[in-house]
Amino acid sequence: MNPQDGLRKKQPARVRRALLDQGARLCSEQGVPGLTLQAVADAAGVTKGGLLHHFPSKQALVEAIFDDLLQRFEHSIDRLMARDVEPHGRFTRAYVTATMELIGMDEFIKWQSLMMTMLTDPGIRQGWKCWMEAQQARYRETDEDGRLVLARYAADGIWLAAVQGHSNLESDRQRGELLAHLIDMTRTP
């Protein structure tokens, strides 16, 4: 009997976290198409049956990984918004800043394969769309201005360029300059 078996039964949240983390790592290394449930289970130290208990399919696992990363991104946005005293454009400034910060972080590699998958995977695309629509509805009064929408779209374009590996975005200085321009767009004229 595996000594970790008893531990797993008592700590399903810990097992789920390991599956999400290892799944995200393997997505970044192999791409979503190359991801196998067995590889994720092995990397997390659980059986394939244990993985299937938490995620009944590869699609469910991939969507859960995406949702987990999206929750982390939203937490970053919330943290940045809490520090911003100017209501007009607060969400946009936080969104743009969180996007640019993420590009410079090690975690960005986890996003790369999932963002490319979004182009062809309706489940992932729908998850992003629903999240973005909820944010737009939530911050409609403060972040509907055309300049703010343009700043968010510009950040999305920079994000996509980084996902595709444009080397000029690897520089902290370059990203900092782009961020400053976008933040300027969010200020009340």
Return the percentage of the chain with pLDDT > 90, whole number. Answer: 63
pLDDT tens sequence across 34-53: 899 999 999 999 999 999 99
- Comparing 71 with 118, the larger pLDDT belongs to 71
* Structure token pair of residue 125: 């695309």
How many other CB atoms are there within 10 angstroms of residue 49's CB atom? 8
Task: For residues 186 and 189, give the distance between their C-alpha atoms in angstroms, rounded to a whole number.
Answer: 9
Domain boundaries, the chain: 1-56, 62-189
Q: How far apart are CA 72 and CA 140, in angstroms?
A: 22
Positive or negative: CA dihedral 80, 61, 39, 14: positive
CATH topology of domain 1-56: Arc Repressor Mutant, subunit A (1.10.10)
With 80 as the cut, is the pLDDT of residue 65 above it? Answer: yes
Tell me what pLDDT residue 28 has: 86
Q: How many CB atoms lie within 10 A of CB 119?
A: 9
Q: What is the mean pLDDT of residues 101-119?
A: 81
